[in-house]
Homo-oligomer: A and B are copies of this chain.
Amino acid sequence: MKAHLLTIGDELLIGQTTNTNAAWLGEELSLLGVSIERSVTVGDEADTMRRELDRAYDEVPLVITTGGLGPTHDDVTRSVVAEYFGKDLVRDPELMQRIRDYYERRERSMPEKVKALADMPEDFETLKNPVGTAPGLWYQERADDRERILAVLPGVPPEMKAIFNAAVRPRLTERTDLRDVQHRTLQTTGIGESNLQEEIGDLSDLLSDTLHLAYLPSTSGVRLRLTAYGTDPEAAEAQLDRLEARLRERAGRYIFGTGNDTLEGVLGDLLRERGLTVAVAESATGGYLGHRLTRFGGSSDYFRGGVIAYANAVKQSLLGVAEADLIEHGAVSKPVAKRMAEGVRDALDADIGISTTGIAGPGGGTPEKPVGTVWIGYAGPDTTAARRVHFLDDRQLNKELFSTSALEMIRRHVLRRAAQPDA
C-alpha cells in the first residue's frame, strides 16, 4: 500500500521545529509494509492543505496528516478534512465531556476555544488521545471503486505516537493488501561509499524487484540496507540471508554491526566481554573520543578515562612524550602518537591506550601535513601501533572522523588479538 505524509505547521517550514514526526512515521510505516511515496510539509493554511490532499489522493489511497489539530485559530486541519470529504462538523458530547474532565482533573479552567476540539466531522471515527486533549481522526470510504483512507494525527510528537500506536497501527495491520517487506541493516565503517561499492562489486545475480540494497552514508560510516519484498516470509528471509552472506564475504572486515548498532556500542560490548579497559590520550579530538566512549550507561565497565593533551607541555608532563620527539618529528607524528597511547595506558592503569594527534583545522596545515591529517596511536597489552589517516577540511567532521578511526582501530586490534590462541 502506498501513502503520502502531510505534516502541517508554519514552525516546520521556518525551521523552528525539526520534522521528527515525518521520520518516525516513515520508519513505522515502512516497517509495516506501507510505502511512503512523498512527504509534504505545508503551513497552517486551508487552501494549501486542500490542494495537497487532492494531489495525494490522485496518486495513493492512504494519507496521514500531523499537526493543525489544536484549539487555536491557525489549527485548520479539522475543518479542511471535513470540507474535503463533504462532511459537517458536529460537536461530540462524549468528547466534550472528556475535555471538561481533563481540565477539571488538572484544576485548570477550560478556555472557551478548547471547545472546538470536540467538533468532529460526521462519519469520521475519533481516535482517543491517551496523553493529551486533541483526538486523532480516521476516515475511509470507497467510491467509484476507489478507496481513500485518511488518518489525522496531532503534531505534538508524544501525542502523535500514542495515537498511532493505539489506533492507526492496528487498523493498518488488519489489512491484507499490505506489501510484505523485511529489512536488515549492516553497519560499516572505515571505507567510503564508492570504495565500498567497488569492494562489493556486481550483485546483479542477486538483486531484483523483490530484493534491494541501499547505501546510506553518514559521518560514522556507510549503512547497508537490505530489503526483501514478498508474501512468503521464509523466502524473503532466505533472500536476505544470501545477500548478507555475499556482503560479508566481500566486505566483512568493514562490517561492525547490524540494525541500529553504533561503533561505540559494539566496541563497548566487545571490551566488556573481553574484560579489557581503555584510556584515551586526545589532542586533535579534544575530548570527543572520550565523549563517544561514554555515550552509553555502564561505560565505566571498560572506560577508565583519559588525558586531553592539547598543549604540548601536557603531552610531556602527563604522557611522557619526549621533547626530542616533538622537536624532531612534530606533535603530529608516529612516535608521538605511539608514546601518547602508551603513556595514557600506563598512567591510567588501563589495558589499552588510544591516542589522536592531528590537524583538525581550519588552520595549522602544512604541505607535508595538510589539514585533515591524523595519527592514531594504539598501545595494547602486547602491541603498540600507529596509523596515519587523511580526512577533510572541516573541523567538526574531522573530530568525528578521527574518533571513528580511533574506535575502529581499537576494535580491529581487540578482534585480531582474540583471534590468536593464547593471546
**Partner-B contacts on A (CB < 8 A):** 10-20, 22-28, 30, 36-43, 48, 52, 55, 70-72, 74, 105-109, 111-114, 130-132, 156, 158, 162, 192-195, 197-198, 214-218, 223, 225, 280, 282, 285-300, 303-311, 313-314, 317-318, 347-349, 360-364, 370, 372, 390-397, 399
Q: CB distance A306 to B294 under 8 Å?
A: no
B16-A19 in contact (CB<8A): no
**Contacting A111 at CB < 8 Å: which of B16, B19, B197, B288?**
B197
Tell me which residues across on chain B come within 8 A of A348, comparing CB atoms.
Answer: 311, 314, 317-318
| Copies of the polypeptide in the assembly | 2
Closest to A315 in B: B305
Quote the shortest CB–CB distance from A9 to chain B (angstroms): 9
Cβ-closest chain B residue relative to A112: B198
Residues on B with C-beta less than 8 A from A197 are 72, 111, 113
Nearest CB in chain B: distance from A38 CB, A: 5
Q: How close is A262's CB to chain B, nearest CB, in angstroms?
A: 12
**A303/B310 in contact, CB under 8 A:** yes
What residues on B are CB-neighbors of A396 within 8 Å?
158, 295
Q: Verify A347–B364 contact, CB threshold 8 A.
A: no
Q: How far is the CA of A310 from the CA of B344 in the complex (A)?
A: 13
Q: What B residues does A30 contact at CB under 8 A? A: 13-15
Decide: A23 near B27, CB < 8 A? Known: A111-B194, A311-B304: no
CB atoms of B162 and A394 under 8 A apart: yes
A308 vs chain B, min Cβ distance (A): 4
Given A12-B26, A290-B308, 7 extra CB contacts under 8 A = A112-B198, A156-B217, A282-B290, A286-B303, A291-B399, A303-B310, A307-B318
Smallest beta-carbon distance A414→chain B, Å: 19
Output the nearest chain B residue to A392 by Cβ-Cβ distance: B131
Which residue on chain B has the smallest CB distance to residue A399? B291
Bound CA span A228–B170, Å: 45
Complex contacts, A17 vs chain B, CB 8 Å = 23, 216, 218
Contacts of A192 in B (CB 8 A): 108
A193 with B297: in contact, given A19-B19, A198-B111, A314-B348 (CB under 8 Å)? no
Q: Which listed residue, B15, B27, B364, touches A26 by the CB 8 Å rule? A: B15
A15–B157 Cα gap in the complex (Å)? 14
When distances are taken between beta carbons in the complex, the residues of chain B under 8 Å from A218 are 17
| Complex Cα–Cα for A2 and B36 (A) | 27
Q: Nearest 3 CB-CB pairs, A to B?
A: A287-B290, A286-B294, A15-B27
Given A194-B111, A390-B107, A305 contacting B295 (CB threshold 8 A): no
Selected contact of A310 from candidates B55, B300, B364, B372, CB within 8 Å: B300
A131 and B393 contact, CB distance less than 8 A: yes
Pair A314/B310 contact, Cβ less than 8 Å: no
Most chain B CB within a 10 A radius of its CB, from A27, A111, A214, A291: A291
On whether the beta carbons of A11 and B194 are closer than 8 Å, the reply is no
Considering the complex, give the chain B residue whose CB is closest to the CB of A109.
B195
Chain B residues, CB < 8 A from A28: 15
Report whether A18 and B15 are in contact in the complex, using a CB–CB cutoff of 8 Å. Answer: no
Q: Which residues of the partner chain B approach A72 to less than 8 Å between Cβ atoms?
A: 193-194, 197, 215
* A311 x B300 contact (CB < 8 A): yes
Specify which of B23, B314, B397 is in contact with A305 (CB 8 Å cutoff): B314
- In the complex the two chains form, what is the Cα distance from A217 to B70 in whole Å? 10
- A13 contact set on B, CB distance < 8 A: 26, 30, 36-39
